Chain A
């Protein structure tokens, strides 16, 4: 098989591999088109995930995205370590009467514009996180009580949490199935 060295590359791709990857990106565009239609259909149903807010809305950019199923894989891989909490209770506590917004990656967002806190629900994995969008920096997710958990106290001394600890404590399995 003839190898082709692409410019400024540290690696080589065969013509066959390159053709395959280009075909992959073309296929993704076609899949995105199908997903757009599906997302329009899903959002038109307007029956789920509304805990007292106005009708379900679509998120910015939703019309050009594709539904992402990585949440289901994430839950399968990690959820045995996550605590359970009731999505409806959490939404009513942190974002009461919010209008759910479905993002192009398949998350459902319940936002409280007054506090900047939003509940991010992953439908495919049936889990959620609580994000404080007013926190600067990359560790913006909270525990179920609404506390920032980037650090912990050990023997009276404050220290950082590892990434794994932080991820575990900021993901919640949904206790109740959404009707």
Chain B
């Protein structure tokens, strides 16, 4: 069974508020609906486990979690290293999403 898993980056503070209320607009956010294959690539890479270990977050399947603040920079360092070790479109896309969250001073949300 294919489930919908979302990665979202609000592009400004208002979009962050809308995300928090479950009312985000795709015009004001980056939104990525992961395929099973993409989720498998990220999960098998141990990216989520690494971020959970070094930050106060709990990314998990069937759960929702956000990364913001200084944890975004940690996540960016890890995803850059991941892209060096395993370069593929999925990892690169995640890197771009995290970089966007840093540049926009917002957050990245994982709704699985």
Contact = CB atoms under 8 A, between A and B. Distances in A.
A33 B79 CA distance: 22
B64 to A, nearest CB: 6
Interface string B1-38: 10110101000000000011111000000000000000
Sorting the interface of chain A by its residue count into under 10, 10 to 19, 20 to 34 or 35 or more gives 35 or more
Interface of B: 1, 3-4, 6, 8, 19-23, 40, 43-46, 49-50, 52, 58-64, 66, 73, 76-78, 80-82, 84-85, 99, 102, 111
A162 B43 contact: no
B77 A163 contact: no
Given A25-B46, A65-B43, 15 more contacts: A6-B84, A11-B76, A21-B78, A24-B50, A25-B85, A28-B49, A28-B50, A61-B40, A103-B61, A137-B4, A138-B6, A138-B22, A159-B21, A161-B21, A163-B20
Contacts of A21: 78, 81
A103 B111 CA distance: 17
A13 B81 contact: yes
Contacts of A70: 52, 58-60, 63
Given A6-B84, A28-B49, A167-B64, A111 B1 contact: yes
A111 B3 CA distance: 13
Nearest to A78: B58
